[in-house]
Amino acid sequence: MTFAEEQANVARHVTITGTRSIPAESDLRGLFDGYLRPFADADAHFYLGGAVGIDTAALDWLAGCSQVSLTVVVPCTVADQPAAAVASIRRWQDDGRLAEVVELGADRLGTVAYYARNRWMVDRSAFVIGFPRGADQGSGTWYTVNYAAEQGKPRLILPL
Task: DSSP for 138-153, please give it.
Answer: TSHHHHHHHHHHHTT-
144-158, pLDDT tens digit by residue? 999 999 999 999 999
Alpha carbon distance, N-terminus to C-terminus of the chain? 40
Q: How large is the C-alpha radius of gyration of the chain?
A: 15
Assess whether pLDDT exceeds 70 at residue 5.
no
Q: pLDDT-derived band of residue 3, with 50, 70 and 90 as boundaries?
A: very low
Whether this prediction's pTM lies above 0.75 is answered by: yes
Top-tier CATH class for 3-157: alpha beta
47-106, pLDDT tens digit by residue? 999 999 999 999 999 999 999 999 999 999 999 999 999 999 999 999 999 999 999 999
Q: pLDDT-derived band of residue 8, with 50, 70 and 90 as boundaries?
A: low
Q: Strand, coil or helix: what is 52?
A: coil
Task: Say which amino acid occupies 14.
Answer: V
- Give the mean model confidence (pLDDT) for residues 36-44: 92
Strand partners, 100: 71
CA dist 157 and 160 (Å) reads: 10
Q: How many residues does the chain have?
A: 160
CA dist 96 and 78 (Å) reads: 16
CA dist 48 and 18 (Å) reads: 10
Quickly count: other Cβ atoms within 10 Å of residue 115's Cβ. Answer: 15
* 11 or 108, greater pLDDT: 108
pLDDT at 25: 81
- In order of 26, 57, 62, 154, the CA distances from 29 in angstroms are 9, 9, 10, 23
CA dist 114 and 38 (Å) reads: 27
Assess whether pLDDT exceeds 90 at residue 115.
yes
Q: pLDDT-derived band of residue 24, with 50, 70 and 90 as boundaries?
A: confident
